[in-house]
Structure 1
């Protein structure tokens, strides 16, 4: 269990931690000289009769150091709020309570410190004041204990209270989740190298693990958890991780140490936000705020998705547009402070780290966010699958959830799959009716006709499934209905064998139907019918009426088009003519054919390559 101390400056947080643990958490010379905590301090205490130990995070109480307090607060399990008997409730008392409450903390206690300085009746009246302060927060039922660190009054009672809380602490759900540690400090040790410290938010870390920190790979060289040397650490523990392959200045506060497959950095995410009841005004769309998430802090802008504002005490879904990349996973807690960093405004929970820039308030998108709020990974996945008409990216889902086991591929719900199949088969039937002499569209063109926003890998997956069930047929990159692939008669097969060498010899110039009929000594009407059937099967290609090229030639021409597009950004008729040695007229005819079938797209006088076109490239199995 991790205990976070909180409270106004000089209310005795560090002194009380020292009385409870024997450890002075003020470690910096300037802290000792000034008598206040500037950085996060740590101490540990063994729980009698148990193998575990509790860790203390001693946070600064000064108003200017609230951002440091927040860096440690996001990983705590139990809040210990201190109120000095001589001062009473002060501004930072209220703000620290707001932070603890907005982070969703429901386990904690209040220590009334410096009890030896209290006048008769002061403890009772202050206890009543504190109880009123806690009302309506997650710590409303927290016990209140009067202590004096100097004389020892109440210290043992508080220590036993913390021990009991640790014994009753439910284990964090770390199994099934990838490791994620929020770095709040980094330093270098002689003979060890770079060491980062932080609270392990999820999963487990073991010596030898390969992890990612700020985009760089690093190996766990050695490991401390709760100030003990260990081979393995689990979520909920304070950890010091010695890393090989990374320098101290490459591990800033706020960075995340994670498993490679869940590492992410987003500049916008959707969340559910609750505005602190004590706020005087609503929070409106467009507000600039300080975002605190994990141990990181950055500026962000708020876009309210449920209406235009959030009233004090109310909750709503929002999109936070960050001024810098942040690590945010579904379920992570966050805190917002105002633009001037003078007060805590709101707290929330991350719903989706992959928030869209467009259509963010549509009913369909809000339904997806409702699915993200379901209580278990399995239920979230099941509901998102039903809602995702364009399919669910399983790898991205696992990344957003921070799952230990990476997922691959795409999934499509039964209803969405049935609707897509219906549209696809209908589109093929229409295509065959309008272009009976063509085998069918290539896979990329068919996607543009049926579901242009669907991801290419999922589209390929669906096509392969339909092909496996015999609902569509594929020849090269072309897709068609099985009934459209007409079998050649014996006569047509004989003519096909005759024309094959002649078309190969004609190359990119192609051959005319009448010339092929004359050379093969076949009736011209029969030759035209046979060539049309061969084109329908994808063996030949009719560039203009009655002019045919074979597939190997068209494949080579398509390769030239792709090369020119890569080199020049587009395909100009003159460049294509020079690259192929064709005349200008034939070069333009071939380019226009590529426009029609979907390999190219005409933009003014230029031909642009369609990046998603697999024309004249084999369909993946």
Structure 2
């Protein structure tokens, strides 16, 4: 295998991960003043490693403290193999176990265990514990970053392991780079770093920032400080970009080809087996360098649906990590079956259809083609994803900032009469708005008037959404607002799209 590879550290705090990386690479990955003052890794660190066969790989050094497990997960999502570090004098500790859970969740199976501090303690006990945790066939190398003991054996074993390791990146398809670091360079501007998950990134490329849909241009590319014209999938890279200010882009965002039609994922169908049932619990779903808080619902047969609060950039076949919100701990991993799922009832036909195990790169289609009144008979996949998002939102429509990545698709759906603007910046599905209109008219028929509070209670929503719906009904002249903010009916409309007849 000759493509780019990334090796990630794992292990408990103070077991010597950063010292070992420094001994192997000659680079101190603790770059922050606070890290150097405390002797504790807080952020992700990066370094190049030249193997004995001359091959250069990237190393990500992750923090080991339990407070920074989320940071560890963000780093681990971009690695191809692991370097588990276990101190001879401590043995397996809590974050050793949790980091191993994360690696298994991401299906990262290839790696080496370094039993560090072998110069001050007998490594036998720690080695036995490592085999109990990782399996009897794991590669164990006793070593010492301080004296150099075992480092030659460790690099030789890493070379063997990595020679037979395939990159987890997708070498075809659009550019997708999940950002794990953002900083400014005097005279150059904004620089972002990350691992290129798919495609080929070239100097001069025009990309979009997910999820804000800000268009940028690639000014410069560097791989471990070396300028390059292009980088293949799987490579860690620093990207100097123009068109976005440092304050408007952050770790967790992504760079994506403008032609890729960015499709945020809010509801995902997953395949997983959890030791404990997490149904109904608030969990964090980690994908790439981003996470979203949401709930898990069981669909039966090891299938789950995640309904999140923040957009993700997932594709069918991706691996995600699920962590409990409180107390924070890693529950396990999952395979993305459908990144743009509909809400399902457990064991429904739709759930069974849409959560069939995908082939690589496969994105499950809808059960049957959909056509919408006044619009084209078919939409592009990203337009269908937006239609599904609006439909699932129901009477609590998203606003324009939430839909920033769907600007082109939103224009198409508005022109087709599927998406309708209300409340100034919100966009709702025409069917959802028609349902609310019928509910409002029913109240008006029974009570002769309607208020924001009355519609709020009827819909079981907040005042913000109730007011937006009533203002929309005023705008299409179904209702009229009186000076005391009560609404009365203007005339009844039977049009399904909510437009006045």
TM-score (norm. length: structure 2): 0.73
Structure with greater contact order relative to length (CA < 8 Å, sep ≥ 6): 2
Q: CA deviation at 1:271?
A: 1.4
Mapped partners of 2:59, 2:103: distance in 1: 15
Matches for 1:290-301 after TM superposition, within 5 Å: 290-301=284-295
In structure 1, how many angstroms separate the alpha carbons of the residues matched to 2:114 and 2:167? 25
Cα deviation 1:413-438 (Å, max 9, x = unaligned): xxxxxxxxxxxxxxxxxxxxxxxxxx
- Which residue in 2 is equivalent to 1:274? 273
Deviation at 1:571, TM superposition (A): 7.9
Conserved 8 A contact 2:340-2:385: no
Q: 1:226: how far off? A: 4.4
Aligned to 1:88: 91
Cα distance change on mapping 1:221 and 1:306 into 2, 3 Å: same
Change (3 A) 1:360 1:263: farther
Q: Deviations over 1:214-238 (max 9, x none)?
A: 3211111111134432111122111
Give secondary structure in 1 for the equivalent of 2:123: helix
Whether 2:24 is the aligned partner of 1:20: answer: yes
- Matched position secondary structure for 1:374: coil
2:117–2:143 Cα contact (<8 Å) kept: yes
- Cα shift at 1:323: 2.3
1:164 aligns with 2:150: no
**How do residues 152-231 of structure 1 correspond to structure 2 at under 5 angstroms?**
152-172=148-168, 174-213=170-209, 214-231=212-229
- Whether contact under 8 Å (2:317, 2:360) holds in the other structure is no
Structure 1 residue 54 corresponds to structure 2 residue 40 = no
| Residue 352 (structure 1) aligned to one of 327, 338, 360 | 338
| Distance in 1, Cα, partners of 2:303 & 2:217 | 38
Contact 1:172 1:235 in 2 (8 A): no
- For the pair 1:305 / 2:299, whether they are aligned, the reply is yes
Give the stretch that moved more between structures: 89-98 or 164-173. 164-173
User: In structure 1, how many angstroms separate the alpha carbons of the residues matched to 2:384 and 2:178?
Assistant: 19
Of the two, which has the highest radius of gyration?
A: 1
Q: Which residue of 225, 246, 249 corresponds with 2:247? A: 249
Distance 1:134 1:36 in 2: 25
Change (3 A) 1:53 1:341: farther
Deviation at 1:292, TM superposition (A): 1.7
Pick closer, same or farther for the CA change 1:218–1:152 going to 2, 3 Å.
same
Q: Sort the Cα spacing of 1:172 and 1:231 in 2 relative to 1 into closer, same or farther, 3 A.
A: farther
Q: 1:110 aligns with which of 104, 113, 116?
A: 113
User: What number of residue pairs does the alignment pair up?
Assistant: 399
Give the 5 Å matches for 1:539-558: none
What secondary structure is seen at the aligned counterpart in 2 of 1:31?
Answer: helix
Deviation at 1:354, TM superposition (A): 1.2
Give the whole-Å Cα distance in 1 for the aligned partners of 2:169 and 2:6.
15
Relative to structure 1, is the Cα distance of residues 111 and 568 closer, same or farther in structure 2, using a 3 angstrom cutoff?
closer
Give the Å deviation of 1:274.
3.0
| TM superposition shift of 1:612 | 10
CA contact (8 A) 2:263 2:382 kept: no
Q: Deviations over 1:528-579 (max 9, x none)?
A: xxxxxxxxxxxxxxxxxxxxxxxxxxxxxxxxxxxxx99951589xxxxxxx
**Does the Cα contact within 8 Å between 2:115 and 2:143 map onto a contact in 1?**
yes
Deviation at 1:126, TM superposition (A): 2.4
566, 569, 574: which is aligned to 2:476?
569
- Contact 2:183–2:190 (Cα < 8 Å) also in 1: yes
Aligned counterparts of 2:168 and 2:76: Cα–Cα separation in 1 = 16
Contact 1:301 1:320 in 2 (8 A): yes
Cα deviation, residue 186, structure 1: 0.3
Verify: 1:65 aligned to 2:68, yes or no: yes
Aligned to 2:308: 322
* TM-score, L = length of structure 1: 0.59
Q: Which residue of 1 aligns with 2:37?
A: 33
Deviation at 1:73, TM superposition (A): 0.8
CA shift digits 1:40-67 (9 cap, x unpaired): 11110223445x4111111100111111
Task: Report what 1:606 is aligned to.
Answer: 492
Measured after TM superposition, the shift of residue 609 of structure 1 is 4.3
Deviation at 1:608, TM superposition (A): 4.8
Alpha-carbon distance in 2 for matches of 1:142, 1:227: 34
Instruction: Give the whole-Å Cα distance in 2 for the aligned partners of 1:298 and 1:365.
Output: 22
- Which runs of 5 or more structure 1 residues have no equivalent in the other structure? 308-315, 401-407, 410-443, 445-454, 456-564, 573-602, 616-621
Note closer, same or farther for the CA distance 1:206–1:341 as it changes in structure 2 (3 Å cut). farther
Distance 2:87 2:27 in 1: 21
CA shift in 2, pair 1:361/1:252, >3 Å: farther
Distance 1:44 1:398 in 2: 43
2:174 partner SS: coil
Structure 2: runs of 5 or more not aligned:
372-377, 387-407, 410-416, 418-429, 431-471, 480-488
Pairwise CA distance, 1:195: 0.5
Superposition pairs of residues 474-493 of structure 1, within 5 angstroms: none
Q: Deviation per CA, 1:323-375, whole angstroms, max 9, x where unpaired?
A: 222222222221112222532111112221211135574213312210xx232
CA distance change for structure 1 residues 570 and 338 in 2, over 3 Å: closer, same or farther? same
Deviations 1:387-424 (A, max 9, x none): 53549855339999xxxxxxx99xxxxxxxxxxxxxxx
For residue 365 of structure 1, the aligned residue among 347, 351, 360 is: 351
Contact 1:290-1:337 at 8 Å conserved across structures: yes
Q: Which residue of structure 2 lines up, in the alignment, with residue 263 of structure 1?
A: 262
Q: Distance in 2 between matches of 1:397 and 1:329?
A: 16
* C-alpha distance in structure 1 between counterparts of 2:242 and 2:46, whole Å: 24
Instruction: Tell me what 1:593 maps to.
Output: none
1:304-453 equivalence runs, <5 A: 304-306=298-300, 316-357=302-343, 361-370=347-356, 373-377=357-361, 380=362, 384=365, 387-388=367-368, 390=370, 394-396=380-382
Q: How far apart, CA to CA, are the structure 1 residues paired with 2:278 and 2:328?
A: 18
